[in-house]
């Protein structure tokens, strides 16, 4: 999600990994058939294409770490949130697996994507197997909120799929209202992050208001992340690597700052460049970035990110957590968006 | 599934459609976003590619009809099984949607497949949306067995995915033991049919032994169907249409009669023809059919289908149902496999 190294997270959060890694390995090992397991293990980074252990781990496990914290925030221990954490991580990776096929992306996390290694049919099936395993793992948890938590996970998953579908559809549309683009980002990025922040609490049977406030915190963080990520996709950031300046413009992405600009007044030149069929030259990419900025897209996205972060803080305060989990939520939230609260 | 017309089902079973159609429309309408809904409605046959109602219906609704019957078999009324029926039909169609992409099939039920109309990305997402909606719909049912039924549906879905993955993997393998091929067919076809036969009962809180016997009945019916379908895929049947003689041999499918034959003694000629890279001539297709028959593949599949049907009858008897649901299960089972018990 961000390129900030994992070591910036405090040690207490990092210890979640010692719970998460064996639980994820166990779920993938026991619920997936050998072919699906091999693809999942490769995609998750534990194994190479032949199934040999890599000795490393793919993702940063931010979402499942939030789920463990969520269980603690509701008065449980981290281990109570394991089923929620495993389910969230599998749903997240199901979406990455299918997204890579849909986008035709050849690399992820510096490795060949699963569909390029195992073929499209098996990669589709492995995604299907992972979301199914996620649902089973959560539903089988012995905790009082297992049924409610699974229902929430499915609602978030449906929103994530809906957001992804809108994102794909936007590519072919000339006119995307800004509110629709914000909703898409909330669905695509916010819903699962909100679920990650609340699912552990819901699993251990927390009061609905606590579950709701934690979900709202995560959703606002997700939107802030998307806004900041979209800003980096146009203007980059010398302090962060990963995103090339102008990357999102070259592929004519309908990202939030661009849609904000396209919906402003007097954007004839921007529309003519951005909505035409022919590729943009390097000079035109810079011209588009300039036009988006002049139309107010950059300022709007920055201010909207600030508003989302302020809303996240408010929601977290309303959750009324003890000091330690409150501080840890803020720390992980800041880690996700790449700035301190 | 079979090409026997729906009118051969008795009127009492056909009335299930009056419950099912509105419930399915309502679930698709309320749980899927507009883009996903349009693809689902097209795939399910209710709408054309522009969303205009077709006034007809795609599938034969055999599986959801079994789920309604299953609720009645456990002492409920058909309406008690609606959530199970809707979930089963959506999971079935999720698998068809993704299968069509994986197989590159351009037509289904006489219409262009969804991925050819809406593109691969949206077709993948629509399948994802359908399985997620299925899970939500079942989990939200107010019945006592909603959680257990959802867990069973996920187990069956995982087996279905596993079977499909094995089927794809078999294409590239020279040696597939017969037991492995039977397990694949049980996973791919039997698991969801077993679930369809038991899910309504489980939803209304039936005793585990009843749920188990109904699931076993459906699983044996599913295997019998697959064996008979595989026989038709090689030798056809003048009384039934749809499958061309030799169809499965031309694409070198590792179907059950073929795998049985490949695992017999003295099959050098068959192996040489079937496992070579070059396409088969028409004369060679007939020669392969002949070699499979001589190696005992045809007889084995016929006898195994009979054994599965006998086992299905035994399981149903063990369920100890009242006369009416017992007779109706047999009637639908016979409808599925295309022969009377």
How would residue B12 be classed by pLDDT, with cut points 50, 70 and 90? low
* Secondary structure (3-state) at A146: helix
pLDDT score at B245 = 81
Distance from CA of B110 to the nearest CA of A (A): 23
A111 vs A97: CA distance, rounded Å: 13
Average pLDDT, rounded, for chain B: 93
Is the model's pLDDT at B226 over the cut of 80?
yes
pLDDT of residue B239: 63
Question: How far is it, in rounded angstroms, from Cα A276 to Cα A264?
Answer: 18
- Give the Å distances, CA to CA, from A73 to A10, A82, A319: 17, 14, 9
Per-residue pLDDT tens over the stretch B146-177: 999 999 999 999 999 999 999 999 988 989 99
The answer to whether the beta carbons of residues A164 and A99 sit under 8 Å apart is yes
Q: Report the residue from A132, A147, A158 with minimal CB separation from B157.
A: A132
**Residue B13 clears pLDDT 90, i.e. is over it:** no
At residue B6, the pLDDT reads: 40
Residues B180, B175: Cα–Cα separation, whole Å: 10
pLDDT at residue B9, as a whole number: 66
The count of CB pairs under 8 A between chains A and B is: 129
Please report the ipTM that was assigned to this predicted complex.
Answer: 0.93
Q: How far apart are CA A27 and CA A31, in angstroms?
A: 6
Q: How confident is the model at residue B316 (pLDDT cuts 50, 70, 90)?
A: very high
Note whether B183 contacts A: Cβ–Cβ < 8 A. Answer: no
- The torsion angles phi and psi of B47, rounded to 5 degrees, stand at -135, 155
Average pLDDT value for residue range A268-286? 94
Residue A7 pLDDT exceeds 50: no
Distance, in Å, from the CA atom of A29 to the CA atom of A160, rounded to the nearest integer, reads 26
Best CATH choice for the domain B6-337 from the list 3.40.50.360, 1.10.357.10, 1.10.600.10, 3.40.50.2300: 1.10.600.10
If pLDDT is split at 50, 70 and 90, which confidence band does B2 have?
very low
**A188 Cβ neighbours under 8 A, 6+ residues apart:** A160, A163, A164, A166, A167, A226
Cα separation, A124 vs B94, whole angstroms: 12
Percentage of chain A with pLDDT > 90?
86
Residue of B nearest to A184 (CA): B33
CA distance A62 to chain B (A): 23
The nearest CA of chain A is from the CA of B22 a distance in Å of: 21
User: Is some CB atom of chain A closer than 8 A to the CB atom of B155?
Assistant: yes
**What pLDDT was estimated at residue B4?**
42
Question: Which of A106, A141, A136 has the alpha carbon at shortest distance from A123?
Answer: A106
CA atoms within 13 A on the CB side of A292: 30
Whether the predicted pLDDT of B178 surpasses 60: yes
Calculate the average pLDDT of chain A.
Answer: 93
Chain A's closest residue to B151, CA to CA, is A136
Shortest distance, CA A279 to any CA of chain B (angstroms): 22
Q: What angle do CA B288, B290, B294 make, to 5 degrees?
A: 115
Across the interface, do A151 and B166 touch by the CB < 8 Å criterion?
Answer: no
Can you tell me the mean pLDDT for A303-314? 98
Q: Do A162 and B129 touch (CB under 8 A)?
A: yes
The stretches of B52-177 forming alpha helices (DSSP H) are 62-73, 82-103, 114-118, 120-139, 146-170
Closest CA to B225 of B124, B117, B118, B308: B308
- State residue A4's pLDDT score: 42
* E-assigned strand segments in B173-281: none
Beta-strand ranges (E) seen in chain A are 107-108, 111-112
How far CA A143 is from CA of A72, A147, B146, in Å, comes to 14, 9, 16
Residues of A (297-336) whose Cβ lies below 8 Å from B: none
**For chain A, percent of residues with pLDDT exceeding 70:** 94
Pick A101's closest partner by Cβ from B31, B33, B124.
Answer: B124
Chain B residue numbers with beta carbons less than 8 Å from the beta carbon of A161 are 33, 36, 125, 128-129, 132
Three-class SS state of B107: strand
* pLDDT above 80 for A8: no
pLDDT at B180 over 70: yes
Give the pLDDT mean for A270-294: 95
**CB count in 10 Å sphere of residue A95:** 22
Are A104 and A168 spatial neighbours (Cβ–Cβ below 8 Å)? no
Angle formed by the axes of helices B16-31 and B62-73, to 10°? 110
Question: What confidence tens digit (pLDDT) does each residue in B19-43 have?
Answer: 999 999 999 999 999 999 999 999 9
pLDDT of residue B3: 41
- Of A27-31, A178-182, B170-174, the range with the lowest mean pLDDT is B170-174
Q: Is A31's pLDDT higher than 60?
A: yes
In this prediction, residue A303 carries a pLDDT of 98
The four Cα atoms B334, B337, B338, B341 give a dihedral, to 10 degrees, of -30
How does residue A272 score in pLDDT terms, banded at 50, 70 and 90? very high
* Measured distance CA(B267)–CA(A341) in Å, rounded: 72
Position with higher pLDDT, B7 vs A271: A271
Is pLDDT of B241 > 60? no
Q: How confident is the model at residue B340 (pLDDT cuts 50, 70, 90)?
A: confident
Q: What is the pLDDT of residues B282-291, one digit of tens each?
A: 999 999 999 9
Nearest CA in chain A to B134: A154
Residue A245: pLDDT band with limits 50, 70, 90: confident
What residue ranges do the domains of chain A occupy? 6-337
Res A58 pLDDT > 50: yes
Where do runs of H (alpha helix) occur along A177-296? 178-185, 191-203, 208-235, 247-250, 256-262, 268-274, 282-294
* Percent of chain B topping pLDDT 90: 86
Judging by beta carbons within 10 Å of its beta carbon (0-12, 13-18, 19+), is residue B241 exposed, middle or buried?
A: exposed
Closest listed residue to residue A117, CA positions, set A97, A135, A103: A97
Question: How many Å lie between the alpha carbon of B21 and the closest alpha carbon of chain A?
Answer: 22
* Helix (H), strand (E) at residue B108: strand B107-108
A35 reaches B (C-beta below 8 A)? yes
What token pair was written down for B143?
A: 């019945």
Name, in order, each residue with C-beta under 8 angstroms of B191's C-beta and a sequence gap of 6 or more.
B155, B156, B159, B160, B163, B219, B222
Asked whether the beta carbons of residue B131 and residue A128 sit closer than 8 angstroms, the reply is yes
């Amino acid at each position: 999600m961000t390129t900030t190294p994992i070591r910036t997270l405090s040690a207490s959060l990092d210890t979640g990994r010692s719970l998460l890694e064996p639980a994820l390995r166990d779920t993938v090992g026991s619920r997936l058939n050998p072919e699906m397991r091999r693809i999942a293990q490769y995609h998750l980074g534990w194994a190479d294409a032949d199934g040999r252990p890599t000795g490393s781990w793919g993702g940063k496990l931010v979402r499942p770490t939030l789920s463990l914290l969520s269980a603690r925030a509701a008065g449980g221990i981290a281990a109570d949130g394991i089923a929620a954490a495993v389910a969230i991580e599998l749903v997240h990776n199901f979406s990455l697996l299918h997204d890579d096929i849909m986008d035709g992306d050849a690399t992820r996390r510096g490795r060949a994507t699963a569909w390029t290694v195992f073929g499209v049919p098996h990669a589709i099936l492995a995604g299907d197997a992972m979301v199914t395993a996620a649902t089973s793992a959560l539903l089988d948890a012995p905790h009082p909120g297992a049924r409610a938590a699974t229902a929430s996970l499915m609602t978030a998953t449906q929103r994530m799929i809906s957001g992804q579908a809108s994102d794909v559809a936007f590519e072919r549309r000339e006119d995307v209202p800004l509110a629709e683009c914000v909703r898409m980002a909330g669905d695509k990025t916010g819903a699962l992050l909100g679920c990650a922040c609340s699912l552990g609490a819901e699993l251990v049977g927390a009061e609905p208001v606590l579950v709701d406030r934690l979900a709202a915190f995560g959703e606002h963080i997700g939107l802030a992340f998307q806004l900041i990520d979209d800003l980096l996709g146009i203007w980059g950031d010398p302090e962060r690597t990963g995103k090339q300046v102008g990357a999102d413009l070259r592929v004519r992405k309908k990202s939030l700052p661009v849609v904000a600009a396209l919906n402003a007044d007097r954007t004839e030149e921007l529309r003519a460049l951005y909505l035409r069929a022919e590729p943009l030259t390097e000079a035109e990419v810079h011209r588009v970035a300039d036009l988006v900025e002049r139309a107010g897209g950059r300022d709007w996205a920055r201010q909207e990110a600030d508003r989302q972060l302020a809303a996240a803080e408010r929601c977290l305060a309303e959750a009324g957590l003890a000091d330690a989990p409150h501080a840890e939520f803020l720390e992980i939230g800041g880690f996700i968006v790449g700035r301190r609260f």
